[in-house]
Amino acid sequence: MNITKGVWPTMVTSFKATKQIDYDGLERLIEWYIAKGVHGLFAVCLSSEMYHLSLAERVQLAKFVKEQAGSRVPVVASGHISYSIEDQIEEIKQISATGVDAFVLNVNRLATAYESEEVFKQNVETILTNVPHIKFGLYECPVPYKRSLTPELLKWCADTNRFYFLKDTEGVPAHMKAKLEAVKGTQLQIFNAESATLLSSLEQGASGYSGIMANFQPDLYVRLFDLYATNPEQARRLQNYIGMSSAMGRVLYPAGSKYYLQLEGLEILLDGRTVSKELFNVYMKQEIEQLRLSDNELRNQIKSI
């Protein structure tokens, strides 16, 4: 399937109380995303707790999401977490063999914080040579360190004709503009992960949103994507709301998002491997409850827009 413009949630992973992946809960979550109108799914990413999953789990997770989504929406996945390029190539081969529509390279795995862009390019070339005939994406993942792509390096990647997707986690309008200019005329599409600058990036030519708040309010992001070109005034009002409310994404994520999903009626536990659900206190619960109440009030208001 093609990499389509729009809203791409960075998927959370549902776990059982035993900390094993809950595939029944994951199936319900996939259906929830699709019912909310998302345009694609980003599996096996930081929100999915990929650094805390075995290779076998990462492969099975990507396979399950792709199979459940079927032909309804495209699915991309990351999941190469090793240090050596040789080990990463094996991870990429196994995960991409699940049939995902693109494998998304975590850019901080392609060179250390102290290595140059030339090292980055050499490692990318090695991967492209050893894993031919598949589509790739790029992901400015902030863990274990955040490596932002320069416009020049992004253009170099785009010119290989192997890259179709960038999850940009800078969200800085001036940087976004330069990156968009750098890839103009190529097939590489840029998706903003930052809620506060989403509308401005769409107006500059970005292809959509791929961030954590699509685990809370995917339908509001879909609505913004639909409105920005047709109703600028209402798009601005919606942008002001989602930009402000995105602060709630920091409430013991991803447990906070799972609590929101519970309020949505999903059978999903707060359990995970990165944060303890015991830290999710009554104040955090009330914050998420109030977020959802406010979201629902806004949903009712924009039905007629």
125, two tokens: 């070339």
225/6 Cα distance (integer angstroms):
6
- What is the Cα–Cα distance from 139 to 186, expressed in whole angstroms? 18
> Could you tell me what percent of the chain has a pLDDT over 70?
99
Peptide bond into 132 cis (omega under 30): no
Beta bridge partners of 106: 139
pLDDT 10s digits, 274-292? 999 999 999 999 999 999 9
Residue indicated by tokens 């509308």: 199
- CA distances for 55 relative to 79, 90, 92, 179, 207, angstroms: 8, 10, 10, 32, 31
- Phi, psi for 242 (deg, rounded to 5): -70, -30
E strand or H helix at 168: strand 163-168
- Tell me the torsion sign for CA atoms 82, 85, 90, 93: positive
**Looking only at Cα atoms, what is the longest distance across the chain?**
54
Domains and CATH numbers, the chain: 6-302 (3.20.20.70)
pTM for the whole structure: 0.96
Segment 27-50, tens digit of pLDDT = 999 999 999 999 999 999 999 999
User: Residues 63-118: pLDDT tens digits?
Assistant: 999 999 999 999 999 999 999 999 999 999 999 999 999 999 999 999 999 999 99
